[in-house]
Structure 1
Amino acid sequence: MRFTLPAASLIALVAEAVANTEKVIFTAPSAITIPNIRPGLDDLNLDTLSPAGLRTLETSLAVQFPSDTAPRGVQSWYLLKDLEPGRRYEVRVCWPATQPTDFWLDVHNLTHVFETPLLISSLADYSENRQPIDLQGPGRAQGEATSHSVLLLHIHSAADYFTSNRTLMEHPPAVDVDLILDPFLLNILPQSLGPTALYITVLAVGSFFLSGAIYTWLYQIAEIPKPHTD
C-alpha cells in the first residue's frame, strides 16, 4: 500500500506522539498503619505524588545506555501517597521526542520492596544519593501512627539513540519529564480525559438532534407540491 506524503507524515507524527509517553495502571491498595518513628518514609527523601497534593511533577531523570550490569539503565524511585483504596490510577511519564529514551514503570507495595533484596538495595542507593541520611541510633517515637494507602513507583530510564559524539555516548544528558498521577473516574477512564469524554458526548447528542431536524426540514421541502406552469 502506498501513502501520499501528507498521510505518511501524519503516521510519523502519530508514532512520535505515542513514543514519548509511557504509563502504568494500578489499583490502590488498602490503607496500612505507618508508625511515626525514625527512620520513616519521609527520611527516604523521595518526591511524592498525591491525588490531593502534587499530581504533576516536572523533573529531570538521569539516563544511561543499557549495559550488562544495568540492562534498563538508571533506576529512580517516587512515593505515591494518600491514594483512595480500591480506586484505579495511572502514572504517566511524558518526555520530549527530541530525547529518545526507553522507560519502564512499576509500582510496588512497601512489603514487597522491603522483602525483595534487589528492590530495597536499589531504593536505599537512590535515597542515599539524593541526600545522605543519618540512620545511627535507635528509632524514636515522633507521635501517633497514621494510616495511608501508599505505593512506591519504580522507574527505569535508558537512553535510546546513537550518535558519533563520543561525549554524549559516554555521558547522555538527563531527560526532562513530566510525571503525572491521574485518578480514574468511576474506575473507567482517567480523570484528565473527563472533559474530552464530555465534549464527545455533547457533540454526539447534538449531532443526533441536529441531523433529525435537518432530515425533517428536507422531508418537508420534498413534500411541498410544486405549482403548475401551464
Structure 2
Amino acid sequence: MRFTLPAASLIALVAEVVANTEKVIFTAPSAITIPNIRPGLDDLSLDVLSPAGLRTLETNLAVQFPSDTAPRGVQSWYLLKGLEAGRRYEVRACWPATQPTEFWLDVHNLTHVFETPLLISSLADYSEQRQHPGLQAPRHAEPEATSQSVLLLQVHSAADYFTSNRTLMEHPPAVDVDIILDPFLLNILPQSLGPTALYITVLTAGSFFLSGAIYNWLYRIAEIPKPHTD
C-alpha cells in the first residue's frame, strides 16, 4: 500500500502522540581506566548502551505504585560505555501512552555510585536480581585494562493511574519501554533530529527563494501597462 505524503506525515504525527517520553541530557565524563580485576562491570549483568553498539534497548520494566519506602517505584540500572569524553548525549525512555507511568532518569559516574551507600545498595540489589542461579558464566582470558568514558544510568518507574480493578492496583503490569542513547551533533542537537533539521533547513531555503520568485513575477505583472479604451 502506498501513502501520499500528507497521509504519511499524519501517521508519523499519530505515532508521536500515542507515545510518552522522558529524557536526561548529560556530558560524557573523562575516560577512566577500568582494571581487569573480578568482579568487574561485566559481572553486574547490566544491559549496556553504547554509541558504537546497542543504542536502542527494547525492554519491559516492572512498575509499582509510589509508597513511603519507594516514592519513585521500581529501580533499574544500565551501563553507558564507550562514550566520547566531552560530548553531549541524551537518553530517552519512550513508552505507550496507553500504559500510564512516571519515569525518572539519572546518570551517575562510577565513583559517585560506589561512594554513596544508597546507590551502591540499589545497584547491588538490581544486579543480584538479574543473576541466573545455577548458571556459571564461561571464563575467558582476562581482558586488558581499558580506558573509556563510562556512566551508570538509574531509571525509576512508577505506575501512574487509578482503577477500580483491585488486581491491577495490587499488581500493575510491566511497561513496554524503549531506552535510547542519542549522541548530539556538534553538541547542539540530538543526532536523531539531524534529518529533521536538514529537512526544515532545505524547506526554509526553498520557501525563501520561491517566495522571492513569485514576488518578482507578480511585480512584473503589476508593471505591465494596461491598454486604454477611448
TM-score normalised per structure 2 = 0.88
CA-CA distance at 1:20 after TM superposition: 1.3
In structure 1, the partner of 2:150 is 150
When residues 163 and 102 of structure 1 are mapped into structure 2, their CA distance, relative to the original with a 3 A threshold, is same
In structure 1, the partner of 2:72 is 72
After superposition, give the CA deviation of every residue in 1:19-40 in whole Å (9 maximum; x if it has no partner).
Answer: 8110000000000000112110
CA-CA distance at 1:229 after TM superposition: 2.7
Pairwise mapping of residues 127-142 of structure 1 onto structure 2 (< 5 A)?
127-132=127-132, 142=142
Which structure is higher in strand share?
A: 2
RMSD over equivalenced CA pairs, Å: 2.0
In structure 2, the partner of 1:106 is 106
Pairwise mapping of residues 191-210 of structure 1 onto structure 2 (< 5 A)?
191-210=191-210
Q: Distance in 2 between matches of 1:82 and 1:133?
A: 29
Q: Distance in 2 between matches of 1:190 and 1:144?
A: 33
Q: Distance in 2 between matches of 1:196 and 1:123?
A: 37
The AA in structure 2 aligned to 1:78 is Y
In structure 2, the partner of 1:121 is 121
Pairwise mapping of residues 167-206 of structure 1 onto structure 2 (< 5 A)?
167-206=167-206
CA-CA distance at 1:227 after TM superposition: 1.7
Q: Distance in 1 between matches of 2:17 and 2:208?
A: 32
When residues 170 and 176 of structure 1 are mapped into structure 2, their CA distance, relative to the original with a 3 A threshold, is same
Q: Distance in 2 between matches of 1:33 and 1:19?
A: 39
CA-CA distance at 1:187 after TM superposition: 0.3
When residues 143 and 96 of structure 1 are mapped into structure 2, their CA distance, relative to the original with a 3 A threshold, is closer
Pairwise mapping of residues 28-107 of structure 1 onto structure 2 (< 5 A)?
28-107=28-107
After superposition, give the CA deviation of every residue in 1:175-222 in whole Å (9 maximum; x if it has no partner).
Answer: 000000000000000011111111111111111110110010001001
Alpha-carbon contact 2:46-2:78 (below 8 Å) kept: yes
Q: Distance in 2 between matches of 1:208 and 1:107?
A: 43
Alpha-carbon contact 2:108-2:151 (below 8 Å) kept: yes
Q: Helix, strand or coil for the counterpart of 2:71?
A: coil
When residues 85 and 18 of structure 1 are mapped into structure 2, their CA distance, relative to the original with a 3 A threshold, is farther
Q: Helix, strand or coil for the counterpart of 1:82?
A: strand
Alpha-carbon contact 1:43-1:133 (below 8 Å) kept: no
After superposition, give the CA deviation of every residue in 1:86-127 in whole Å (9 maximum; x if it has no partner).
Answer: 000000000000100010000000000000000000000000
Pairwise mapping of residues 9-20 of structure 1 onto structure 2 (< 5 A)?
17=17, 20=20
Runs of 4+ in 1 over 2 A off after TM superposition: 16-19
Q: Helix, strand or coil for the counterpart of 2:193?
A: helix
CA-CA distance at 1:228 after TM superposition: 2.3
Q: Distance in 2 between matches of 1:84 and 1:212?
A: 44
In structure 1, the partner of 2:10 is none
The AA in structure 1 aligned to 2:195 is P
Q: Helix, strand or coil for the counterpart of 1:76?
A: strand
Q: Which runs of 5+ in 2 are unaligned?
A: 1-12, 135-140
Identity of aligned residues (%): 90
Q: Helix, strand or coil for the counterpart of 1:149?
A: strand
When residues 205 and 29 of structure 1 are mapped into structure 2, their CA distance, relative to the original with a 3 A threshold, is same
CA-CA distance at 1:17 after TM superposition: 4.0
TM-score normalised per structure 1 = 0.88
Q: Helix, strand or coil for the counterpart of 1:20?
A: strand
